[in-house]
């Protein structure tokens, strides 16, 4: 077996071939890493992200452009809200961290807000690590847009949380500022879930920084989510436990390092270069197994393409994970209908029995309606 360094070089070369000649790798950001955790079983996404393929460009080249990304209006509104939350040296943000996560600590007055400017992502990452090390000596410190690096499939992904707060006890908290509203203390669960997955990626990256310190500080697994209160522009906050999301993302990232296995199973010459003819590109994408679920629509740029394929194949996955789980071994809509009509399927299979019962009830109901 070749030594690890040679294997790493060979993998990088293989991934560059998959992207296509002269196609630069798209850097992974926290949103992309978090989305991996939303569909952990999808080899297609794992490979494309690991290879640095720009999935939005790929989706357009396949004829199914993604409807992804925030509108300019939403971006402007989000930036204005974040600036308001961080005004006056982050006084309101620190007050919320103190109130929701650490009420027993001294109130955050005269907090440090170190300057994190440096040249390039590597410089900013080093500056952030230094600021975190210096902040570990007591008091409150707010790091505004720090830069963190996380090793992903052998190369660093640079990540920029909205803020990291160092508590007087030396522990670190990730803060996510979102522009969706919190109504009566709770927000849209799907949006909170996406924010929690994103924050979990930052927690993992912070843990890597902490592990390099002589006395590693505690990275808190409860993050602070700051949102506008009700329909106003006033900030409110909620503590979100991201232990589960952190564990799923850590597993996914470990899996990403095995993208070599997925790449090895592809036909010779497979390439995802967006300038290839659509037919060739479609065949390349279809050669990597995917596990489409409706959740992909809010998490992956290839969702429209994968949804069309899933529907064409009659796959029950397009109906949602819960329906899929209820149907056991029946994987296509055709199988389900045939089992319900009593043409196929084992009558002792609980899914088949339930489908037949449902079909009988439907027939009875329709018969009653017709009479
Ligand atoms: S949209 Fe397709 S590639 Fe993306 S996660 Fe879903 S199944 Fe995988």
Residues 285-340 have pLDDT tens digits of: 999 999 898 888 878 899 999 999 999 988 888 888 788 888 888 889 999 999 99
Report pLDDT for 111. 92
Buried b (16+ CB within 10 A) or exposed e, 205-225: bbbebbeeeeeebebbbbbbb
Q: Which residue has the tokens 């990256």?
A: 205
Pocket test for ligand 1, best of 252, 303, 310, 320 (most atoms within 8 A of CB): 303
Instruction: Among 207, 241, 275, give the residue marking a domain's end.
Output: 241
The arithmetic mean of pLDDT across residues 211-218, rounded, is 92
Phi, psi of 202 (to 5 degrees): -65, -40
Instruction: State the distance from the centre of ligand 1 to the C-alpha of 346, rounded, in angstroms.
Output: 32
Establish if 170 belongs to a structural domain.
Answer: yes
Q: How far apart are CA 245 and CA 266, in angstroms?
A: 30
The pLDDT-based confidence of 141 (bands split at 50, 70, 90) is very high
Instruction: State the distance from the centre of ligand 1 to the C-alpha of 235, rounded, in angstroms.
Output: 34
Establish if 248 belongs to a structural domain.
Answer: no
Instruction: State the distance from the centre of ligand 1 to the C-alpha of 76, rounded, in angstroms.
Output: 29
Does residue 128 sit in the same domain as residue 140? yes
Does residue 47 sit in the same domain as residue 88? no
> Which atom of ligand 1 is nearest to 35's Cα?
5
Q: Which tens digits make up the pLDDT trace of 68-94?
A: 666 778 788 889 999 999 999 999 999
Does residue 310 sit in the same domain as residue 354? no
Instruction: Among 241, 269, 304, give the residue marking a domain's end.
Output: 241
Establish if 179 belongs to a structural domain.
Answer: yes
Establish if 246 belongs to a structural domain.
Answer: no
Is residue 306 in contact with ligand 1, taking CB distance under 6 Å? yes
- Number of neighbouring beta carbons within 10 Å of residue 3: 7
**How many domains does the chain contain in total?**
3
Contact call for residues 134 and 122 (beta carbons, < 8 A): no
At 192, which helix (H) or strand (E)?
Answer: helix 189-211
Instruction: State the distance from the centre of ligand 1 to the C-alpha of 232, rounded, in angstroms.
Output: 36
Instruction: Among 302, 321, 340, give the residue marking a domain's end.
Output: 321
Does residue 103 sit in the same domain as residue 202? yes
Report pLDDT for 7. 55
The pLDDT-based confidence of 155 (bands split at 50, 70, 90) is low
Does residue 263 sit in the same domain as residue 137? no
The pLDDT-based confidence of 117 (bands split at 50, 70, 90) is very high
Q: How far apart are CA 189 and CA 50, in angstroms?
A: 28
State the pTM of this model: 0.73
The pLDDT-based confidence of 172 (bands split at 50, 70, 90) is very high
Does residue 82 sit in the same domain as residue 222? yes
Task: Report the percent of the chain where pLDDT is more than 70.
Answer: 93
Instruction: State the distance from the centre of ligand 1 to the C-alpha of 255, rounded, in angstroms.
Output: 16
Instruction: State the distance from the centre of ligand 1 to the C-alpha of 355, rounded, in angstroms.
Output: 29
Is residue 317 in contact with ligand 1, taking CB distance under 6 Å? no
Q: Which residue has the tokens 């017709």?
A: 370
Establish if 247 belongs to a structural domain.
Answer: no
DSSP 65: -
192, pLDDT greater than 60: yes
Does residue 98 sit in the same domain as residue 130? yes
Establish if 109 belongs to a structural domain.
Answer: yes
> Which atom of ligand 1 is nearest to 48's Cα?
3
Does residue 97 sit in the same domain as residue 19? no
152, pLDDT greater than 60: yes
Does residue 224 sit in the same domain as residue 114? yes
Q: What is the mean pLDDT of the chain?
A: 88
Instruction: State the distance from the centre of ligand 1 to the C-alpha of 351, rounded, in angstroms.
Output: 27
Establish if 355 belongs to a structural domain.
Answer: yes
Does residue 287 sit in the same domain as residue 339? no
- Number of neighbouring beta carbons within 10 Å of residue 346: 11
Is residue 303 in contact with ligand 1, taking CB distance under 6 Å? yes
> Which atom of ligand 1 is nearest to 303's Cα?
1
Does residue 305 sit in the same domain as residue 355? no
> Which atom of ligand 1 is nearest to 45's Cα?
3
Alpha helix ranges (H) inside 212-300: 243-256, 259-264, 278-286
Report pLDDT for 257. 58
Does residue 64 sit in the same domain as residue 76? no
Query: Domain of 63?
Result: 4-69+254-321
Question: Percent helix, strand, coil in the chain (nearest 5)?
Answer: 50, 10, 35
DSSP 183: B
Measured by CA distance, the residue closest to atom 2 of ligand 1 is 306
């Amino acid at each position: 077996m070749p030594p690890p360094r040679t294997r790493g070089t060979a993998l990088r070369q293989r991934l560059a071939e998959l992207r296509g000649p002269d196609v630069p790798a798209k850097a992974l950001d926290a949103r992309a890493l978090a989305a991996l955790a939303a569909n952990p079983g999808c080899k297609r996404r794992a490979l494309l992200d690991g290879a640095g393929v720009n999935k939005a460009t790929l989706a357009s080249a396949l004829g199914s452009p993604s409807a992804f990304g925030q509108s300019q209006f939403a971006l402007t509104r989000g930036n204005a809200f974040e600036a308001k939350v961080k005004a006056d040296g982050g006084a309101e943000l620190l007050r919320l961290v103190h109130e929701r996560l650490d009420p027993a600590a001294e109130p955050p007055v005269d907090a440090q807000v170190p300057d994190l400017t440096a040249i390039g992502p590597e410089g900013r990452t080093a500056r952030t690590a230094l600021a975190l090390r210096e902040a570990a000596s007591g008091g409150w410190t707010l790091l505004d847009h720090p830069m963190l690096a996380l090793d992903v499939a052998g190369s660093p992904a640079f990540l920029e949380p909205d803020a990291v707060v160092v508590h007087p006890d030396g522990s670190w908290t990730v803060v996510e500022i979102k522009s969706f509203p919190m109504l009566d203390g709770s927000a849209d669960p799907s949006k909170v879930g996406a924010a929690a997955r994103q924050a979990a990626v930052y927690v993992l990256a912070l843990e890597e920084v902490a592990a390099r310190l002589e006395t590693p500080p505690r990275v808190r697994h409860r993050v602070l989510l700051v949102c506008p209160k009700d329909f106003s522009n006033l900030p409110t906050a909620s503590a979100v436990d991201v232990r589960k999301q952190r564990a799923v993302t850590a597993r996914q990232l470990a899996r990403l390092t095995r993208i070599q296995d997925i790449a090895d199973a592809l036909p010779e010459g497979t390439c995802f270069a967006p300038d290839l003819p659509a037919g060739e590109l479609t065949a390349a994408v279809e050669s990597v197994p995917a596990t489409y679920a409706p959740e992909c629509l809010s998490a992956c740029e290839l969702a429209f393409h994968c949804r069309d394929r899933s529907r064409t194949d009659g796959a029950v996955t397009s109906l949602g994970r819960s329906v899929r789980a209820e149907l056991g071994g029946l994987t296509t809509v055709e199988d389900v209908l045939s089992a319900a009509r009593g043409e196929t399927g084992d009558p002792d299979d609980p899914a088949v029995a339930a489908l037949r019962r449902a079909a009988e009830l439907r027939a009875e109901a329709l018969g009653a309606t017709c009479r």
